[in-house]
Amino acid sequence: EAGVAQSPRYKIIEKRQSVAFWCNPISGHATLYWYQQILGQGPKLLIQFQNNGVVDDSQLPKDRFSAERLKGVDSTLKIQPAKLEDSAVYLCASLAAGQGAKTQYFGPGTRLLVL
Amino acid sequence: KQEVTQIPAALSVPEGENLVLNCSFTDSAIYNLQWFRQDPGKGLTSLLLIQSSQREQTSGRLNASLDKSSGRSTLYIAASQPGDSATYLCARIATVDSNYQLIWGAGTKLIIKP
């Protein structure tokens, strides 16, 4: 079974530029999460999708961040314009549907450096 | 506010030692709790998931316990090896408006010295 794929793995941009990250979850996983992880901290949930609908984006800085999952499969996260404090690792995770104890599966992350 | 705290933030021990990582949470109405491992430049890998009805889970040299009454979980690593060096994060599994989410600690960075 293929894992969660993310690209690019690394990105360096200057402040005020835009950047986009891509995630392809495990096949059949209905729920997709985007997290921001700043160095030395735990992941912070940015947005949660159920199929192609947003179920929680309460911590997404909507003035600069946007995300979509148009066909309920892969997803993109965009930052425009980027700020220095956006430097972090952006993690994508997916979760299978159904009841019972479940675990999220994580991609390798995209490491963003804003200069 | 739901919070998860991990102590210590960093730990360095010689190879072969047994060690304990601690995780505490403020909300006693816990559902499940999960321990993850994070290697540099990589994503998170689930190690153990303890359901709220359980007291512990074991996998190889790892044992995780859950004490809901005290709001604590521990991850015990037996006979540590250099390959165990990584950051270990605990996460409380929450259901927020019927949405399955994780509430994270900041992690403990573990270094095992050969």
Sequential pLDDT tens for chain A (115 residues): 679 999 999 999 999 999 999 999 999 898 999 999 999 899 999 999 998 899 999 999 999 999 999 888 999 999 999 999 999 999 999 998 766 667 889 999 999 999 9
Instruction: Please tell me the predicted confidence (pLDDT) of residue B1.
Output: 60
Going from the first residue of chain B to its last (114 residues), give the mean pLDDT of each consecutive group of 10, the final group possibly shorter: 86 96 81 90 89 91 92 95 96 78 94 95
Cβ burial, residue A40 (10 Å; 0-12/13-18/19+): exposed
**B10-14 and B108-113: which strand pairing?**
parallel
Q: What is the pLDDT of residue B69?
A: 85
What's the rounded Cα separation, in Å, for the pair A89 and A107? 11
Residues of A in contact with B41 (CB under 8 A): 108-109, 111
pLDDT at A1: 63
Query: Number of H helices and number of E strands within chain B?
Result: 0, 11
Nearest-5° Cα angle at A75, A74 to A80: 155
How high is the pLDDT of residue B97?
A: 66
Q: Would you state the pLDDT for residue A19?
A: 98
| Selected residue of A33, A47, A103 to mutate for chain B interface (largest B Cβ count, 10 A) | A103
Q: Do B4 and A42 touch (CB under 8 A)?
A: yes
**CA B2 – CA B103 distance, rounded (Å):** 8
Q: Supply A6's token pair.
A: 């993310």
Position B2 scores a pLDDT of 65
pLDDT at A96: 81
Query: Would you call A30 an interface residue with chain B, using a CB distance cutoff of 8 Å?
Result: no
Per-residue DSSP letter, A40? T
Q: Check residue B68 and give its pLDDT.
A: 85
Q: What is the rounded distance in angstroms from the CA atom of residue B92 to the CA atom of residue B105?
A: 8
CA dihedral (A35, A37, A42, A45) in degrees, to 10, reads: -20
Establish how many alpha carbons lie within 13 A of residue A64's alpha carbon, considering only the half-sphere containing its beta carbon.
14
pLDDT given at position A101: 60
Distance from CA of B105 to the nearest CA of A (A): 5
